[in-house]
Amino acid sequence: MPKRFASAIEVAPSPQQMSVVLQVHHLEPRKTPNEVALQSKSSGSMIATGRHKQRGVITIRIGSMNQARSNPDKLDKDWLLLLAAWLLVTAASLGSLFFSEIMDLPPCSLCWYQRVFMFPLVLVLFMGLFPFDPKVVRYALPLSAAGSLVALYHLLLQAGVLPERAAPCTQGVSCSDVDLLVFGFASIPMLSLVAFGAVTALLIIILRSSSR
């Protein structure tokens, strides 16, 4: 019986960060001349298959490794998007504290719910920046999406689209009162919705980019 074995070698030369896998299978000696066929796949990998009259079948597969490593430009773009998301949630959190602690505008119940979703994002997104980890989107996206829904609900209450009896603020600060208009038209729930919506959009872009 002829012996069979396979050997695999991986190398990652810079800057392309490509992987090379060499597989050698010893089969029955063949008397046909050496043949080599090169096939390119849609995924970007290439496969070269050859026949050696004494060695049998030789297969060389050259394919890209992790796309995040093989494309520095894409990595930089995703990192910048995550940085922009972190700056947004940080500015929104500081703005919320400024309104309540400096301007003495007490937050209502819905404001507190939005803070519950906003404040953790500052830490979660920062942990994904240094070093860059696109997996942080899995934890941040549910927070930003839930915060967007609460902010939208709050905005609809203030606009009168939803009845006041639908507000969870049964006592204390009213959820439907408009205490402040930034630039003369933007209420606090509107600013919150813009921040949550922008962060959610950025996280979705990063998620789709990293999954390709």
Cβ distance 97 to 112 under 8 Å?
no
Domain boundary among 45, 65, 85: 65
Instruction: Give the residue with greater pLDDT, 114 vs 13.
Output: 114
Same domain, 144 and 191: yes
Same domain, 34 and 136: no
Same domain, 84 and 148: yes
* pLDDT score at 181: 85
The Cα–Cα gap between 191 and 62 comes to: 50
Q: Does the structure show a pLDDT above 80 at 91?
A: yes
The Cα–Cα gap between 198 and 104 comes to: 27
Classify residue 162: in a domain, yes or no: yes
Looking at mean pLDDT, say which of 1-5, 34-38, 67-71, 151-155 comes out highest.
Answer: 151-155
Question: Quick one: 78 exposed, middle or buried, by C-beta within 10 A (0-12, 13-18, 19+)?
Answer: buried
CA 126 to chain centre: 13
Radius of gyration of the chain, Cα coordinates, nearest whole angstrom = 28
Same domain, 27 and 122: no
Could you give the number of structural domains in the chain?
2
Same domain, 76 and 144: yes
The Cα–Cα gap between 57 and 46 comes to: 17
Q: pTM of the prediction?
A: 0.64
Mind listing the pLDDT tens digit for each residue in 60-83? 444 444 444 446 677 789 999 999
The Cα–Cα gap between 202 and 17 comes to: 27
Looking at mean pLDDT, say which of 46-50, 61-65, 179-183 comes out highest.
Answer: 179-183
Same domain, 59 and 114: no
Cβ distance 59 to 36 under 8 Å?
no
Same domain, 36 and 123: no
Classify residue 5: in a domain, yes or no: no
Q: Name the DSSP class of 27.
A: -
Same domain, 121 and 185: yes
Element (H, E) at 197: helix 188-210
Same domain, 75 and 60: no
- Domain of residue 37: give its range: 18-65
